[in-house]
Amino acid sequence: MANLLFDALFAPLGENDRRLLILPDGREVTGRQFAATIARFAHALVAAGVQPGDRVAVQIAKSAEALAIYAATVAAGAIFLPLNTGYTAEEVAYFLQNATPRLFLCDGAKAAALAPVAEAAGARLMTLNADGTGSFPAAAAAQPGQFAPVPRGADDLAAFLYTSGTTGRSKGAMLSHANLLSNAEVLAREWRFTADDVLLHALPIFHTHGLFVASNVSLLTGGAMIFLPGFDRDQVIRWLPQATAMMGVPTFYTRLLDDPRFDRQLVEHMRLFTSGSAPLLAETHALFEARTGHRILERYGMTETNMNTSNPYDGERRAGTVGFALPGVELKITDPATGETLPQGEAGMIEVRGPNVFKGYWQMPEKTREELRDDGFFITGDIGEVDADGYVSIVGRAKDLIITGGYNVYPKEIELILDEQPGVLESAVIGLPHPDFGEAVFGVLVARKGESVDADAILAALSGRLAKFKQPKGLAVVEDLPRNTMGKVQKNLLRDQFRDRFAG
């Protein structure tokens, strides 16, 4: 038996003398060099006691070595568990207690603080620093540059990715070799990736977008990656002329559009920009096209399912939609209360089934049963609708649904209208506790730079356009909407901030 994911993504690198990684200091790493690092790291994992099926948890900066740890973990038949570099020691403690990894790698600067956390979870601690040094690479240095991958099949687990957990505790989504490989294959085909592509990679690699969508697609097709430690506008502008494709979250694109250096000439040679992880405003889509001539390709996915839908490579990339279900992925819209499929055009729960859908939440069988149906459909928690042409739109998260006086209100419908109002840059609509209505619709606005917004005029304008129960009972203006690293608006923080607004 072979090692399914390793054989497809990493084994071919051993014969590849082309550049695989282009690093911010200009250094280049060839496929063959990277394959040798993977082999040494895999030996070092085994020497550290890692056995097939063990978890290897990491909280390390993005680097070529960090990517090699992922590959080495897969080679060793173990399960890769990357953690957000922003997590505190207390947060890391939860993940280590829950996943009980054999080995935990962290930055040397945090080792003293995290040592007791690792010890309490029974994990061995080693270090890997942003510059590639540390006790782990030191232990790997003398290891051989060849490693025979541990056999792993389609249903064996390759990674645990914890959900970002804005409500309740974060859950470990168990992803198999076939989950990851099938999605990389579909995306590579749909988005026409080849060995000639150079992907500008500025996403974090502790999240599905940067680790799987971006890295796996590029590795599978044998292309190169400009591997930047994070999104830095100057760096991105500097490297774009050498790239052919870029994957980003919407905030990457709004930040680039804020810079006059980002123009048509800079990206003339590019063939693809994709966006996901958070909604791309139709306005950003239009501004981007006007500035560059490129239409951003928006897609939709999540930690538990990899990617589910994509706008077409050829054909119309429709702004405000996330395109069609990917080949092999079944998508339906159901009544959140009954699970019955709704007629085309109605908004409801998005459910998906396919080889991309995860194996369940680690050690949370009851959560798994709540969200993963016996027939294989996963209840995404996203509310969406499908138009007559088959394009899927996301209306919002089910948990952001507002129920006011017994009526359901989808925030997106109101946000779209608020965004059109004079002086408004963007908005977030939330439900706040209200003595009469249960919840009251409330709008939080951000003004455009140098402009002001007139809340009373906006409320008056809305009254002609929305049913009374959908009209916000109040508006507030803030400097910025709170966002996480993937650009998602953290509505839970807004709900906390304005919680007492209608307290009776």
- Residues forming the site for ligand AMP (CB under 6 A): 163-164, 208, 276-279, 298, 300-303, 322, 380, 382, 394, 397, 486
C-beta closer to ligand AMP: residue 235 or 484: 484
To ligand AMP, the closest distance from the beta carbon of 288 in angstroms equals 15
Residues forming a β-bridge with 127: 106
Residue in the structure block whose two tokens are 């935990």? 104
C-beta closer to ligand AMP: residue 285 or 397: 397
C-beta closer to ligand AMP: residue 185 or 382: 382
C-beta closer to ligand AMP: residue 129 or 393: 393
C-beta closer to ligand AMP: residue 31 or 276: 276
Residues 6+ apart with CB under 8 A from 458: 418, 421, 424, 445, 475
Is the separation of the CB atoms in 278 and 250 below 8 Å? yes
Token pair in block for residue 253: 């694109």
To ligand AMP, the closest distance from the beta carbon of 183 in angstroms equals 13
C-beta closer to ligand AMP: residue 176 or 303: 303
Q: Which run of H or E residues covers position 325?
A: strand 324-325
Q: Which run of H or E residues covers position 275?
A: strand 272-275
Does the CA dihedral 415-417-418-423 come out positive or negative?
positive
To ligand AMP, the closest distance from the beta carbon of 46 in angstroms equals 31
Residues 6+ apart with CB under 8 A from 466: 413, 414, 417
To ligand AMP, the closest distance from the beta carbon of 19 in angstroms equals 29
To ligand AMP, the closest distance from the beta carbon of 275 in angstroms equals 7
To ligand AMP, the closest distance from the beta carbon of 11 in angstroms equals 28
Task: Report how far residue 484's alpha carbon sits from residue 197's, in angstroms, rounded to the nearest whole number.
Answer: 29
Task: Report how far residue 283's alpha carbon sits from residue 320's, in angstroms, rounded to the nearest whole number.
Answer: 9
Is the separation of the CB atoms in 107 and 86 below 8 Å? no
Closest CA to 82 of 210, 216, 206: 206
Task: Report how far residue 248's alpha carbon sits from residue 214's, in angstroms, rounded to the nearest whole number.
Answer: 9
C-beta closer to ligand AMP: residue 227 or 378: 378
C-beta closer to ligand AMP: residue 124 or 295: 295
Closest CA to 185 of 378, 1, 5: 5
Residue 63 Ramachandran class (φ > 0 left, ψ -120 to 50 alpha, else beta): beta
To ligand AMP, the closest distance from the beta carbon of 28 in angstroms equals 30
C-beta closer to ligand AMP: residue 236 or 394: 394
To ligand AMP, the closest distance from the beta carbon of 484 in angstroms equals 8
C-beta closer to ligand AMP: residue 7 or 289: 289
Q: What are phi and psi of 496, to 5 degrees?
A: -65, -45
Closest CA to 122 of 76, 47, 55: 55
To ligand AMP, the closest distance from the beta carbon of 121 in angstroms equals 24
Task: Report how far residue 189's alpha carbon sits from residue 476's, in angstroms, rounded to the nearest whole number.
Answer: 45
Token pair in block for residue 441: 């619709």
Number of H helices, E strands in the chain: 16, 24
Task: Report how far residue 188's alpha carbon sits from residue 214's, in angstroms, rounded to the nearest whole number.
Answer: 10
Residue in the structure block whose two tokens are 């601690």? 125
Chain length of the chain: 504
C-beta closer to ligand AMP: residue 432 or 489: 489
Distance, first Cα to last Cα, the chain: 66
C-beta closer to ligand AMP: residue 165 or 422: 165
To ligand AMP, the closest distance from the beta carbon of 460 in angstroms equals 30
Token pair in block for residue 339: 């699970």
To ligand AMP, the closest distance from the beta carbon of 99 in angstroms equals 17
Is the separation of the CB atoms in 95 and 162 below 8 Å? yes
Token pair in block for residue 381: 């928690």
To ligand AMP, the closest distance from the beta carbon of 378 in angstroms equals 11
